[in-house]
Amino acid sequence: MFKMLLQNVLLGAALGLAAITHAQVPVPAPPSIGASSYILVDFHSQTALAERDSEAPVEPASITKLMTSYIAFREIARGNLNLDDEVVVSEKAWRTAGSRMFIEVGNRVRGEDLLKGIIIQSGNDASVAIAEHIAGDEQVFASMMNEAAAQLGMTGTHYTNATGLPDPAMVTTARDSALLARALISEFPDFYSWYSEREFTFGGIRQHNRNRLLWRDPSVDGLKTGHTSSAGYCLVTSASREGMRLISVVMGTDSEDARASASQALLNYGFRFFETYQLYDAGLELSRERLWKGRSDDLALGIEEDLFVTVQRGRYDELNASMELPGQLLAPVAEGEVLGELVIRLDGEMVASRPLVALAAVEEAGFFGRTSDGLRLWLGGLFGND
């Protein structure tokens, strides 16, 4: 109903949302948590609901392995890696310090087992093994990680290895970690379910997922923990309740329990005081506008991406939508050509926007059509008509 009402607004009707009522919930300040930096983001709208020093550079620790698995999933999608590939374990991978999957040098390990060893057991040995298998060398793999980070807009991140073991040049931010988590969930939904698995057994050794929220909160379904003595205890996690998905990132807490409690507090805060709505579908005709000098007299306009907004609970019916277009639309028009902007506002402040594009191409009219429309436009200019 909201989509239709907003569409009516765009067509010039009044915003009549009286039939949709929600009790407004005052939004308090975010919870006070013991983390060096954090961020809470809505997955669909990408709105930050709470944050502190979210762009401050921090040591990523094993949060790094989110990118290691992202690269592996991307290579699978490209046909360059197979889950059944037998990966030969190098001595370097076998000797890698820190958390381990306990693979043995010279053994052949299935790609799927290595990935689960990375995701569930946080195996540094598995991370190096998969990096060497994909790129031939861990440093080359790190270059692939940095290239992917740049493509995702992770401007505060730099990788030097596939594990997250301490390195002065290795850095990320809470905001970048949320961007990466969102990319993993949206681009690789089939693999994302692995992040919710509570344990994995390899070589007769059973290890548990270190994300305690998988046991505490049934709405939590991933992603990754991290810890070194210098980075503290970190956690990137996601939860979904009633169609609303949130991503929380906490960096630099004092203990495993502290990172879990801080993440839980942020998630509870977001779900309690905010709500997310999909206002428009990609490709939906939002308006049909007059088109001049074309083979058609009108043009359908819409957006190319679904539009979600996240607002304080109870303020849904205060949203206002408008279309910002040039005074006249002239042919020819290419499909997908940007012709204006759809803007959603609350209290006069923009909360979301999308480019308005042509949903179909319209060719330029013939000589007589162009001449006729040109004359009408000229006369309209003289007499103040459209």
How far are the Cα atoms of 109, 111, 113 from residue 119, in angstroms, in the given order? 15, 12, 10
Cα of 36 vs its chain's centroid, Å: 22
- Out of 45, 99, 122, 127, pick the active-site residue: 122
Helix (H) or strand (E) holding 375: helix 367-383
- CB 141 within 8 Å of CB 162: yes
Q: Which two tokens stand for residue 23?
A: 């009790």
Gap between the Cα atoms of 130 and 112, Å rounded = 10
- CB 218 within 8 Å of CB 81: no
Q: Residue holding tokens 């998630």?
A: 267
Gap between the Cα atoms of 88 and 139, Å rounded = 18
Helix (H) or strand (E) holding 249: strand 244-253
Confirm whether 122 is a catalytic residue.
yes
- Out of 54, 62, 127, 261, pick the active-site residue: 62
Gap between the Cα atoms of 45 and 116, Å rounded = 30
3-state SS, residue 364: strand
Gap between the Cα atoms of 89 and 148, Å rounded = 25
List the end-to-end C-alpha distance of the chain, in Å, as a whole number.
32
Specify the amino acid at residue 198: R
- Out of 65, 116, 224, 293, pick the active-site residue: 65
What's the full length of the chain, in residues? 386
Cα of 68 vs its chain's centroid, Å: 17
Among residues 308, 173, 146, 320, the alpha carbon closest in space to that of 236 is found at: 173
Tell me phi and psi for residue 21, to 5 degrees: -125, 140
- What is the bridge-based pairing of β-strands 86-88 and 108-110? antiparallel
Return the number of other C-beta atoms located less than 10 Å from residue 378's C-beta.
10
Confirm whether 293 is a catalytic residue.
no
Residues with catalytic function: 62, 65, 122
